[in-house]
Amino acid sequence: MMISVIGGGYVGLVSSVCFAELGHSVNLVEIDEEKTEAINAAIPCMHEKGLEELLLKYVGTRLKARSDYSCVAETDISFLCVGTPSSGDGSPDLTMIESACRMIGTSLDGRVGRHTIVVKSTVPPGTTENRLVPLVMGSSNKMLSEMGFAVNPEFLREGLAIQDFLMPDRIVIGSSDKAAGDAVEAAYRGLDLPIIRTTMATAEMIKYASNAFLAAKISFSNEIGNICKRLGIDAYDVLRCVGMDHRIGPHFLNAGVGFGGSCFPKDVAALISLAEGLGESTSMLRAIMDVNERQPFKIIELLEQRAGDLMGKRIAVLGLAFKNDTDDIRDSRSIPVIRELKRRGALVAAYDPQAIRNMRKVINGIDYCNSAAEALRMADACLVMTEWPEFGELDDEFDLMSSRIIIEGRRVLCCDDSEGICW
C-alpha cells in the first residue's frame, strides 16, 4: 500500500518505520523542516529501542519524510498521528489535529479514487465523526462516498513501541463503513493477532478506558505500598501474590513514585473533563490523579526522615525520564521531586542515560552529570527515580557518597542497604 503518516512525533515515527517493515511505502508528513531533514538522514528525534536501525533500513526506499501535504494525494490511506495535548481544564487541545484534517482535505481536492483517513491520535469519543470528518469534507470538495474514515488507537509503550506495534495484544479498528475498516486492516496484513472491528466512537473510548484502567492499577499499587511501608511489609511481595490471581493479572502492579509520560496523565484528565461535561461523577478517576500527584512527595518525606534538614545537602537523583529506555520527560515524577528538593535548599546532582538534554530545557540550576558515579560523588543521599538497568548494577559507586543513604522510587537496585518508598 501507499501510506501517508501525518506527524513525525513519537507515534508517527514509530508507525512509519513499522509500516515500512510490513512492506508498505510510507510518506511521513512532518511540518517541522528540521525534524524532516533529520528523519531523511535516518537520525531519530527520540530514543526508542530499534528505531534507528529501522530508519537506516528504510529511509530513502520505503520511507520518505516531507514537510508538506502534497504527497497525501499519492497515497491510499492516511494515518493521523499528531498530538492532542491537555488544555488548561484537562480537555484535549484539538488544534493540531483539526489543522491537519483541513490540510489533508485540501490536498485531496481533485484526487480521483477513494482515500481512507485514519485517526491514531487520542481524541474524545465522537470527535472523529462530529468534528474531524466535517473538516476534511469541507476542505476537500469531495462526496462522502469517495472518502473513508476510521479510528485506530495506538497502544505503544515507550521503550517497547516497535515490539508493541508489530506484536500487539489486539488491533482496534472503528470505521465509518466496512470498506474503510478493510483498508485499515489491510495495512496490518501479515500480523497474526486479534482484530476488533467496531464504531469510531467505541474505538476512541477503548483507548481512554484502557489507559485509565492501567493508571488505576498503578495508583492502587501505590496506596497499598504506602500502607505496607507503615506496617513494615514489602509491598512487592504483596502485589506479586495479588497479581497471580487471573482476575487481576501481574502487569502494572508496581508500587513507587507514580506514573508519568505522554499518555496516562493526559488521558485520565481528558476522561475526567469529558465525564464531568456530561454531568457524570468522576470520583474514582480523580482519586487516581490525586494519588499520583501526592506520591512523589513520599520520597521527599522519607529522605528527610533519613537525612534531616536538606538545606545545602548534595542529593543525587538518578533517572530523569518518566521510565527507562526512553528520553521522554513528559510528566516525569523526577520533575516535582527535583523542584521540591530545590525549594528546600538541596543541591541536586542529576544523571540519566538519555534524558539530560530534555530535562535541561525544563529545570536549570542543578548539576547535570555524565555518569551515576559523578552524581554520587560526595552526595549526602541518593534518590533512584527511574529503573534503568545500569542502575541495577551499581554498588561500589555508592561508596563515593558522603553518607550512604539510598532511597528507591523504582525497584531496581541490587545493593543491600537501599530503602524503597513503598518497601
Whether the CB-CB separation of 119 and 80 falls below 8 Å is answered with yes
Rounded to 5 degrees, what angle do the CA atoms 308, 255, 375 make?
Answer: 50
Dihedral Cα 262, 264, 269, 275, nearest 10 deg: 130
Cell of 39: 528523519
Residue 259 backbone phi and psi in degrees, to 5 = -100, 155
Rounded to 5 degrees, what angle do the CA atoms 298, 299, 305 make?
Answer: 95
Q: Which candidate in 228, 263, 369, 382 is catalytic?
A: 263
Rounded to 5 degrees, what angle do the CA atoms 256, 275, 264 make?
Answer: 25
Cβ contacts of residue 247 below 8 Å, gap of 6+?
A: none
Whether the CB-CB separation of 101 and 80 falls below 8 Å is answered with yes
How far is residue 258 from each of residues 15, 230, 296, 366, 387, measured CA to CA in Å?
A: 28, 18, 7, 23, 13
Query: What is the helix (H) or strand (E) element at residue 175, kind and residue range?
Result: strand 171-175
Residue 106 backbone phi and psi in degrees, to 5 = -60, -40
Find the DSSP H helices in 119-199: 127, 133-140, 161-166, 178-187
Respond yes or no: is residue 81 known to be catalytic: no
Terminal CA-CA length for the chain: 52
Whether the CB-CB separation of 317 and 334 falls below 8 Å is answered with yes
Residue 151 backbone phi and psi in degrees, to 5 = -120, 125
Edge-first strand order for the sheet with 147-151 is: 63-66, 25-29, 2-6, 77-80, 115-119, 147-151, 171-175, 195-198
Separation between Cα atoms, residue 201 and residue 291, nearest integer Å: 29
Q: What's the gap between Cα 311 and its chain centre?
A: 34
Whether the CB-CB separation of 312 and 31 falls below 8 Å is answered with no
Q: In which residue are the cell numbers 493540531 written?
A: 96
Which residue numbers are catalytic?
A: 263
